[in-house]
Amino acid sequence: MSTLEERDKLVKKEKNRLKKLFKDIPNNKLKAVDGLIIQAARLKILLDEMWIDISENGDVEMFCQSDKQDPYERERPMAKLFNSRDMSYQRIMKQLTDLIPLEKEGVMNIDDSSDLL
């Protein structure tokens, strides 16, 4: 796991990357979603670190509540937390993506659908 200083540098780098990606969001909305961009950057860095742990240690572990029971496989707490944070990250990214004007996304206007026929 990285130190706080290293993590802060990574978050700042990711925040700048996201701001470039979402530069087409209208300025008035961009100011309002600055917190979402920061949180998305934090989550991305945490998810990357967690992914390394899961890759090295797996999604499951053998677990036993007492010496009298046989151990059984259970989802590692890190994997469970990863899934929860990943869902939060995806929701934030969806919110940000939805703010990009349609013409910037390359999405076809409904009126242009006749071109397909």
Q: Which residues 6+ apart lie within 8 Å of 59 measured at CB?
A: 75, 76, 79
**Segment 84-96, tens digit of pLDDT:** 999 999 999 999 9
Low-confidence ranges of the chain (pLDDT < 50): 108-110, 113-117
Could you identify the residue written with the tokens 């920061």?
38
CA pair distance 6, 67, nearest whole angstrom: 41
pTM for the full predicted model: 0.77
The first and second tokens of residue 78, run together, are 């890190």
Predicted pLDDT of residue 103: 66
Predicted pLDDT of residue 106: 55
Pairing outcome for strands 72-75 and 60-63: antiparallel
Predicted pLDDT of residue 26: 86
Residue type, 113: S
Predicted pLDDT of residue 116: 42
Helices 77-98, 34-57: axis angle to 10 degrees equals: 150
Predicted pLDDT of residue 101: 84
Strand partners, 86: none
